[in-house]
Amino acid sequence: MEGIPHPIPRTVEEVYNDFKGRRSGLIKALTTDVCKFYQQCDPEKENLCLYGLPNETWEVNMPVEEVPPELPEPALGINFARDGMQEKDWLSLVAVHSDSWLLAVAFYFGARFGFGKNERKRLFQMINDLPTIFEVVTGNVKQPKDQSANHNGNSKSKSSVKAGSRQPEPQSKIVKMSQPSKDEDESGEDDEQGATCGACGDNYGTDEFWICCDICERWFHGKCVKITPAKAEHIKQYKCPSCTSKRARV
């Protein structure tokens, strides 16, 4: 490996810049330089690793012989898996391991130079604002959740409210409520007070899983109708016990 010929980062900003440089190099290897990277990962060679360097370049090399190494080491033996998988799956696997390695290096520096709780939190938030290498390589870059919420001041980050109705409107009639932020709680408190469970009659709760009947459009606590979030994911059309019994009698 490089043996750290580059300046050692000591502050949050320096560690973040080091992270960005290494990340850029790894992305190049797995996208624009992918043919060159693929050729260098010969399964006939010994254990190889993919290194991202702070100057936005990359290299395929054997791991350092020093034990323990100066820096955390990337995944070992990536070349051995190359011919046993489809290329896109292999690249995705290398991308996942590269993401893990980048975090390990960044927080190694943080631990080495005594970053406190707030510094570690700030570093992670800066890193977390960037798409992962896996997301870039697979084209699965997710939109930040707060973009859509900020687009409409009255929107909920975890749930919506039906227009002209007091009942919450989830995605695909299924919603798992989470504790809203203070701003959300103030703006949506009146809207949420009117929703009640069609089974027990209790009021809407922000920390409970709810499900909506696709027939009568009434809302129910998942526990009241014995539906868990995992089970709900596989239900295409949910019918509450009342609507199910009505259809059975017809």
pLDDT > 70: what percent of the chain? Answer: 74
pLDDT of residue 161: 35
Contact by Cβ (8 Å): 133, 164: no
Domains by residue range for the chain, with CATH:
12-138 (no CATH), 197-249 (3.30.40.10)
Give the Cα separation of 51 and 25 in Å (integer): 8
Please list the ranges in the chain whose pLDDT falls under 70.
1-5, 142-194, 206, 246-250
pLDDT of residue 3: 47
Tell me the Cα Rg of the chain: 25
pLDDT of residue 162: 37
Contacts of residue 244, Cβ cutoff 8 Å, sequence gap at least 6: none
Distance from CA of residue 22 to its chain's centroid? 20
- Beta bridge pairs of residue 169: 160
Give the Cα separation of 178 and 71 in Å (integer): 39
Place of tokens 């991202």: 52
pLDDT of residue 144: 54
User: Which residue, among 233, 240, 249, has the nearest Cα to 218 in the 3D structure?
Assistant: 240
User: Which residue, among 164, 208, 156, has the nearest Cα to 186 in the 3D structure?
Assistant: 156
pTM, two decimals, is: 0.57
Instruction: Look up residue 184 and give its two tokens.
Output: 């959300």
Instruction: Look up residue 9 and give its two tokens.
Output: 């980062």
pLDDT digits (tens, 9 = 90+) for 63-99: 988 888 889 999 999 999 999 889 999 999 999 999 9
Instruction: Look up residue 104 and give its two tokens.
Output: 């390990």
In 88-204, DSSP assigns E strands to: 160-161, 168-169, 174-176
Give the Cα separation of 215 and 175 in Å (integer): 17
CA distance to 20, 78, 109, 179, 243, per residue, from 7 (Å) = 15, 28, 12, 44, 68
* Main-chain dihedrals φ then ψ at residue 117, nearest 5 degrees: -55, -45
